[in-house]
Amino acid sequence: MAYWQWGDDGAGHVIVCVHGLSRQGRDFDVLAQFLLDRATDPLRVVCVDVAGRGRSDWLKDPMGYQPPQYVADILAMLTQLHRQAPITVLDWIGTSMGGLIGMAVCGTRELAQATDKGPAPLPVAVRALVLNDVGPVIQWQALQRIGTYLGNTGRFQTVQQAADAMWAISTSFGPHTPAQWLALSQAMVRQLPEGGWTLHYDPAIAVPFRNLSEESAAQGEAALWQLFDRIQARTLILRGAQSDLLSPETALAMTRRGPRARLIEFEGVGHAPTLIADNQVEAVASFLLGQSDHEKPDSGAT
């Protein structure tokens, strides 16, 4: 599994950024640089390419493209990073799928401690969690929309042509300048040996997604709520005000149960905020870096 690291590779404060279903770690370039510019203490920002995306290897069995595998991979990465330089403060930013993985990482740790099932697999507890347009209830209509294009990696003559094709299915991300969108798109494509470009992910990530039914999605909600309710990390929800994936009702419920998350909505944006706009990166930076040291809870090292 590949990841992109920003900042001080010896810093004890680590922020892990995990992307959406068909995206990759370079989505966080702007946010990572903004966080480093804002930080007053040494900081490492680690932006993952989840298996099958970006520079990471593709899985032999496409049914492995599911959260349990992703969680295991990232826990292994964190163990490796902890060996390289001890992690003392761990924060998590997850967009869509990356948020679900974050909920699983946080909630599974708390469940393991509550049921005395052995030491938690994290080097330290997640201190602060940012869930970008995702929650325990995912609207079925949004999944159907995503299913219309997931796995269709295409072939394009130029990067700009690929960027234009991606914009056609990504207008819900909200306003972007042509330069911003091209920058987001460049890491989303890879060059083909025979010429041309294609999207930089394994088309087989769509296999388990297409096996999902409305009934099985609904059945998973109870498990996700259980994970969410056990989260101890300070939690921020970012929601596109026009999101079709995270409903206003679910977002509001997340502020009233579990970690009692703080909610910020962005007008003119659907699913999902790209964390490039000034107000979006400022919201994240203020939440993660705006508190004083005495407000930081114990790291819970194990």
Residue 118 confidence (pLDDT): 53
Domain assignment present for residue 163? The answer is no
Output the DSSP codes for 235-293: EEEEEETT-SSS-HHHHHHHTTSTT--EEEEETT--S---S-SHHHHHHHHHHHHSS-G
Longest dimension (CA), the chain: 57
Q: Count structural domains, the chain.
A: 1
Reported as a single tens digit per residue, the pLDDT across 186-222 is 999 999 999 999 999 999 999 999 988 888 888 889 8
Residue 264, phi then psi, degrees to nearest 5: -125, 130
Residue 296 confidence (pLDDT): 38
Taking 70 as the threshold, does the pLDDT of residue 114 lie above it? Answer: no
Domain assignment present for residue 184? The answer is no
Residue 117 confidence (pLDDT): 55
Q: Cβ(227)–Cβ(106) under 8 Å? A: yes
Residue 120 confidence (pLDDT): 57
Three-state SS at 43 = coil
Confidence of residue 293 (pLDDT cuts 50, 70, 90): very low
Domain assignment present for residue 268? The answer is yes
Q: Which domain holds residue 112?
A: 3-141+215-295
More confident residue, 216 or 168: 168
pLDDT above 90 covers what percent of the chain?
85
Which CATH number does the domain housing residue 78 bear?
3.40.50.1820
- The rounded distance, in Å, linking the Cα atoms of 95 and 170 is 14
Domain assignment present for residue 32? The answer is yes
Reported as a single tens digit per residue, the pLDDT across 232-286 is 999 999 999 999 999 999 999 999 999 999 999 999 999 999 999 999 999 999 9
Q: Which residues contact 187 (CB under 8 A, 6 or more apart)?
A: 24, 26, 27, 54, 200
Domain assignment present for residue 157? The answer is no
The amino acid at residue 98 is: G
Reported as a single tens digit per residue, the pLDDT across 118-135 is 555 788 999 999 999 999
Using only the alpha carbons of the chain, give its radius of gyration: 18
Domain assignment present for residue 182? The answer is no
Domain assignment present for residue 89? The answer is yes
Output the DSSP codes for 82-141: HHHS---EEEEEEETHHHHHHHHHHHHHHHHHHTT-S--SSSS-EEEEEEES--S---HH
Taking 50 as the threshold, does the pLDDT of residue 295 lie above it? Answer: no
Q: How far apart are the first and last CA of the chain?
A: 24
The amino acid at residue 155 is: R
Mean pLDDT, the chain, rounded, equals 91
Residue 299 confidence (pLDDT): 29
From residue 49, alpha-carbon distances to 7, 119, 275 in Å are 18, 27, 17
The amino acid at residue 1 is: M
Cβ neighbours, 10 Å, residue 3: 21
Domain assignment present for residue 108? The answer is yes
